Amino acid sequence: MASWYGPGFNGHRTANGDIYNQEDLTAASMLFPLGSRVMVTNLNNGRSVEVTINDRGPFKKDRKIDLSHRAAGILGMIGPGTAPVRMVMMSAQSYVQNAAYAPRYFVQAGSFAQKDNAYRLREQLAAYYPDVSVTQVAAGGRNYYRVRMGAFTTRNDARARAMESSRLGLPMVIVSE
């Protein structure tokens, strides 16, 4: 399922360091590496557009890609807001405009609404790893506390840590920023 984003994010920095322009053919997704070129086809009408993944999202559970305003317009989904889509990765180039914005990878062991729960997990993991931290994130008017390990410079390094630490029985998720 695809959605689109535009006015509220226009002019803000994206995950790869670019300034978001809602009229560029770009998208946000957690499924593809930053810089990937992805062909998106609206299954309701057959229209297609190729976009560059330059941001992370969407943050709604049932959605897999957030398209720019222009890309959504080409697909004919501005009015409905969402559409079922097929996504095909055309290329998986890693794109970094500026080394200062190179993606960093983290292994996230949990996200909690209760601060104490996050710090309890942090203490458990800190017995094995020196790079465990808790970060606070505000979303939907609430605070959440993420327990993460890293930062890692490559996804493979993060994957190795996730596999190693999964022996503790915790679900590990690799995220990039």
Q: Please write the tens of the pLDDT for every residue from 13-49.
A: 888 888 899 999 899 998 888 888 888 999 999 888 8
Binning pLDDT at 50, 70 and 90, where does residue 140 land?
Answer: low
More confident residue, 95 or 119: 119
Q: Kind and range of the H or E element at 162?
A: helix 155-165
Which residues touch 61 (CB under 8 Å, ≥6 apart)? Answer: none
Fold held by 2-97? Barwin-like endoglucanases (2.40.40)
Tell me the Ramachandran region of residue 76: left when phi exceeds 0, alpha when psi lies from -120 to 50, beta otherwise: left
Please determine whether the domains at 2-97 and 104-176 fall in the same fold group of CATH: no
* One-letter identity of residue 64: K
Separation of alpha carbons 110 and 81, rounded Å = 30
At the second CATH level, the architecture of 104-176 is 2-Layer Sandwich (3.30)
Question: What pairs with residue 106 in β-bridges?
Answer: 150, 175
SS3 131: coil
The counts of H helices and E strands in the chain are 3, 11
Q: What is the pLDDT of residues 64-96, one digit of tens each?
A: 999 999 999 999 999 999 999 999 887 775 444
- Distance between CA atoms of residues 14 and 28, nearest Å: 9
Residue 97 has pLDDT above 70, yes or no: no
Give residue limits of the domains in the chain: 2-97, 104-176
